[in-house]
Chain A
Amino acid sequence: MSSDAIDMTEPDGRRHPPGDLAIWVFILAELAAFALLFILYGVVRAKHVELFNEMQLTLDRNAGALNTVLLITASWCVARAVAAIRKGADGASARWMACGILAGVGFLVVKGFEYSDKFDAGIGLDTNLFYMFYIALTFFHFMHVVLGLLILGFLLLKTLRGGYSADDHLGMETGASYWHMVDLVWIVLFPLVYVMR
């Protein structure tokens, strides 16, 4: 990734993260909440290894992996959409954004099937410690995906109306940053909850 790496590095003089700084304060706060949950997960798991290992087997790892692929893809599409708008290609940007949204919706659908399976089995927050964490973590994350998709939808509409350009796309960067945070959290969540034993 040599030639286009310039796309992704900040233009000279830009020393702040992409997007509005306000979103970054929010991102850090959200990451802090997830960090506490992840840390507690590890600590509690260490005390109940057998329960966690046993319960982990009842999760649908394929669905989890598929969702990882979907979120990674969505994040990639959104990154391409931002790269496109930086070059002023708003048509391409809108197409990438739409693909990103599609992948995100796909995540919700897969997760929806996963949840309905679990809820039909009578599983809830108070089933046991593992499921407490499973539901708290994934549902909290699920809601973030919903919120992220709303933001992406808004970005898409604004792009289609010609609201962003090569000179003015701070809003898109702001929304994209939030979306990547949602992706980042899942990248940690999936191996931790679904795979590691």
Chain B
Amino acid sequence: MQYKSQMVAKPYFIGALVLFVAQILFGLIMGLQYVVGDFLFPHIPFNVARMVHTNALIVWLLMGFMGAAYYMVPEESECELYSPKLALIMFWIFLAAAGLTVVGYLAVPYATLAKITGNDLLPTMGREFLEQPTITKIGIVVVALAFLFNLSMTFLKGRKTSITTVMLLGLWGLAIMFLFSFVNPDNLVRDKFYWWWVVHLWVEGVWELILGAILAFVLIKITGVDREVIEKWLYVIITLSLITGLIGTGHHYFWIGTPEYWQWLGSVFSALEPVPFFAMTLFAFNMVNRRRREHPNRAATLWALGTGVMSFLGAGVWGFLHTLSPVNYYTHGTQITAAHGHMAFYGAYVMVVLTIISYAMPLMRGRAANSNASQVLEMWGFWLMTISMVFITLFLTGAGILQVWLQRVSTTPMGFMATQDQVALFYWLREGTGLVFMIGLAVYLFSFFKDGKSAA
């Protein structure tokens, strides 16, 4: 670590991991509610558990991105952060806002939360992933603006590299697209149309810039390959992401009342969306194979390679599986979507945040890498979580295929609930693998406390 102010990344990473634990806990609750329907009812109804599960995910990934940016930008710009103090204040505000929102979700019925936060003044609540009270959304915007101001000032006064350019473009894009969360027309079709500008243009748009920049940064550090080479790859990958992903938004415009030409355009462009992810896999392996040094942090290398492979599988392959409109006609809104969502989020975004944490945390704790024992534990965590996620995805895919068959394709279609009973076995299996994931997460977290100091 070359600059003192990079240390502000540390609380962000710790906060992210704490919320990660909360996310998985509530995931397990939901998973059990799929098969034991009245589990924890009426204290934690499914919708509440799901809000915590998804919102905690989004917030901890954002915290991870912010931590990554605070770590990377000073080092790349070769100067201290514009204002470390502002970064720390924003961390606590962000954490408090996230915590209060979760408390709000758990303590009072959602309708009450909507009422006391004045949702009727500017109704933005009650839409998937954007359930946060309007005031929380405004808080997110404020935190994001302060964060971007801080980083942009740092960027402007220092060296401008391709990595920071792409990272900042991604982060600015993230903030700008989030503004569409305040767009909530009464017209349901238009509501859904612009809702995807937040959701899709985040995860299949600007977030990919952030993902690419973080991966490129870590690969430069751990492989010692020329910056020039890595930056070219970075630009090629993100170009491919945006030229496929922008019109690829059309794969969400098949059945929500939008014109039917989207079925063609969405299918064509999203069919190409695996290409950038494939390029990313090639990129990660290529760079590691051409490494010019043996970095002592083997765990970080493993996470970086894992990101390449799992994002291709989750976002690329599982996305392609149901992106063509004739297939999507049957799979839209089934467990197939859930399967894709799980592996894509884990493979792309969870893993890239864990990659930068794996690389940066030892440095912030004053060592190039953790001890061998600690790294072995971390890699156990990697394999347990990754393999569990593969099986969670496979079981959900199995559930989805059966669901599609019984409820959609069959000439005598079953009702939704009757179908759910038929696929219960898959849900049990998924819950079991979810527990293994939790164990993997515990092992991973434990590696932080394992005598890291006797490092190489």
Is B232 within 8 A of A126, CB to CB?
no
Is B271 within 8 A of A36, CB to CB?
yes
CB distance from B279 to the nearest CB of A (A): 9
Say yes or no: is B416 at the interface (Cβ < 8 Å to chain A).
no
CB distance from B317 to the nearest CB of A (A): 17
| Complex-state Cα separation, A31 to B160, whole angstroms | 33
Q: How many A-B residue pairs have CB under 8 A?
A: 40
Say yes or no: is B146 at the interface (Cβ < 8 Å to chain A).
no
Closest B residue to A44 using CB positions: B264
Q: Which of B225-269 contact A (CB under 8 A)?
A: 232, 235-236, 239-240, 243-244, 259-261, 264-265, 267-269
Say yes or no: is A33 at the interface (Cβ < 8 Å to chain B).
yes
Q: Is the interface of A mostly helix, strand, loop or mixed?
A: helix
Say yes or no: is A146 at the interface (Cβ < 8 Å to chain B).
no
Is A125 within 8 A of B259, CB to CB?
yes
Which stretch in A21-29, A46-54, A104-112 binds the other chain?
Answer: A21-29
| Complex-state Cα separation, A114 to B204, whole angstroms | 35
> Which size class do A's interface residues fall under?
10 to 19
Say yes or no: is A166 at the interface (Cβ < 8 Å to chain B).
no
Closest A residue to B269 using CB positions: A33
Q: Is the interface of B mostly helix, strand, loop or mixed?
A: helix
Q: Which residues of A contact B244 (CB under 8 A)?
A: 29, 33
Q: Which of A133-183 contact B (CB under 8 A)?
A: 133, 136
Q: Which residues of B contact A29 (CB under 8 A)?
A: 239-240, 243-244, 272, 275
Closest B residue to A133 using CB positions: B264
Q: Which residues of A contact B264 (CB under 8 A)?
A: 40, 132-133, 136
Say yes or no: is A37 at the interface (Cβ < 8 Å to chain B).
yes
Say yes or no: is A32 at the interface (Cβ < 8 Å to chain B).
yes
Tell me which of B235, B260, B275 contacts A22 (CB under 8 A): B235
Q: Which residues of A contact B272 (CB under 8 A)?
A: 29, 32-33, 36
Closest A residue to B236 using CB positions: A25
Q: Which residues of A contact B239 (CB under 8 A)?
A: 25-26, 29
Q: Which residues of B contact A133 (CB under 8 A)?
A: 264
| Complex-state Cα separation, A30 to B272, whole angstroms | 10
Q: Which residues of B contact A40 (CB under 8 A)?
A: 264, 267-268
Is A126 within 8 A of B243, CB to CB?
no
| Complex-state Cα separation, A40 to B264, whole angstroms | 9
Is A126 within 8 A of B268, CB to CB?
no
Is A22 within 8 A of B259, CB to CB?
no
CB distance from A61 to the nearest CB of B (A): 24
Q: Which residues of A contact B259 (CB under 8 A)?
A: 125-126
Is B265 within 8 A of A136, CB to CB?
yes
* In the complex, per-residue mask of A1-37: 1 if CB is within 8 Å of any chain B CB, else 0: 0000000000000000000001001100110110011
Which residues of B come within 8 Å of A, CB atoms?
Answer: 232, 235-236, 239-240, 243-244, 259-261, 264-265, 267-269, 271-272, 275
What are the 8 A-B residue pairs with the smallest beta carbon separation, nearest first? A125-B261, A36-B268, A126-B259, A132-B261, A25-B236, A29-B240, A37-B268, A126-B261
Q: A29-B244, A40-B264 are in contact. List 4 more A-B contacts (CB 8 A).
A: A25-B239, A29-B272, A126-B261, A132-B264
16 pairs of residues in contact across A and B, judged by CB atoms under 8 Å = A22-B232, A25-B240, A26-B243, A29-B240, A29-B272, A33-B243, A33-B244, A33-B269, A33-B272, A36-B272, A37-B268, A40-B264, A125-B261, A132-B261, A132-B264, A136-B264
